[in-house]
Amino acid sequence: MCFPGRSWLVTAEDMRGVEVLSDEQPFDLRREGGPEAEESYIRWNIAELDKCPALRGRTFDLIISWVTWIWVSDPLGALELVFDRFLAPDGILIIGGMQLLTHQNSGPCKDQRWLFSLRDMLVEQVGHQIETFADASLSVLTWWVQRKPLQPETTHLLGLGRFMGYDLDHPFEEDSQKAIYEIAAKGALLGPLAATYDGGTGGAYPLPPAPAEGARPIPSARLRKNDAALDDASRRKMPADLDEYRRLEDSDLSTLLARWIAT
């Protein structure tokens, strides 16, 4: 990974403590894992996972994607497909790099308010169990953590089409080639929820409405300012520097998931 003015050292160890990735040579799964490694993974287009013969009829208790969703052309369509088809009842889905784009000129921070309002609608009105928070380093990207209900009779599909669709006039953002979404009813359903989040002035659709009085910052997992670790009290005092605020307890995925599993 390279950024202007920065250098990154990328290494990784497997569960044995053996280094399997370094900057010196590309990672070779066959070399590190042996012949059986060939059957341990599948290469397939995420948007068409339902057509993959090796996955037909299979579901999983845990699905994790750290960075892949950054590159997915239709991130919400892929989210719905994976949740509906491949996550088992009581399973947990963890996705990093989630982003929702609504208009060429809207801007990622304003669009993020639409994404968080979608989460709130699914939780408050539909009954899903979801946590979302901005990425600690790239705050315009979002972590999406969701648990599927245990009982089959209460396992409901996401049904995102009730709240948004595709912009048929401008289907893709030019630079990223990501899908551009239309918010249902020109924001009438999600608008009141989007207004509860701060983040820009807002305006007429396709922008989210102006933040309401007392609007809260977009929740974030950011725990540090430069090299200084921050506790809850110090983080609360400097929201302008941190951009967003979220309690340490809520930012700890292990605590969050343990609480979900306990219930």
* Together in a domain, 5 and 74: no
* Together in a domain, 78 and 204: yes
This prediction's pTM: 0.78
- pLDDT at position 121, please? 96
Residues facing 6 on adjacent strands: 3
Query: Hey, what's the torsion of the CAs at 105, 160, 200, 140, to 10 degrees?
Result: -80
- pLDDT at position 51, please? 94
For residue 72, is pLDDT > 80?
A: yes
* Together in a domain, 9 and 68: no
> For 159-185, what is each residue's pLDDT tens digit?
999 999 998 888 888 888 889 999 999
CA 52/CA 227 separation, integer angstroms? 45
CA 95/CA 109 separation, integer angstroms? 19
* Together in a domain, 130 and 185: yes
- pLDDT at position 9, please? 46
For residue 6, is pLDDT > 50?
A: no
Full residue range of the structural domain in which residue 25 is found: 1-41
C-beta of residue 83 within 8 angstroms of C-beta of residue 60: no
* Together in a domain, 29 and 86: no
* Together in a domain, 28 and 87: no
C-beta of residue 134 within 8 angstroms of C-beta of residue 221: yes
- pLDDT at position 175, please? 82
- pLDDT at position 255, please? 74
How would you class 89 by CB atoms within 10 Å of its CB: exposed for 0-12, middle for 13-18, buried for 19 or more?
middle
* Together in a domain, 250 and 152: yes
* Together in a domain, 59 and 110: yes
Tokens 């020109």 appear where? 186
* Together in a domain, 94 and 194: yes
- pLDDT at position 196, please? 94
Rg (CA), the chain: 20
Tokens 């599993």 appear where? 261
> For 100-143, what is each residue's pLDDT tens digit?
998 756 677 788 999 999 999 999 988 899 999 888 777 788 99
CA 76/CA 88 separation, integer angstroms? 19
- pLDDT at position 59, please? 93
* Together in a domain, 11 and 126: no
* Together in a domain, 28 and 64: no
> For 224-258, what is each residue's pLDDT tens digit?
444 455 565 665 555 555 544 445 555 566 777 77
Q: How many domains does the chain have?
A: 2
Helix, strand, coil percent values for the chain (each to nearest 5)? 35, 20, 45
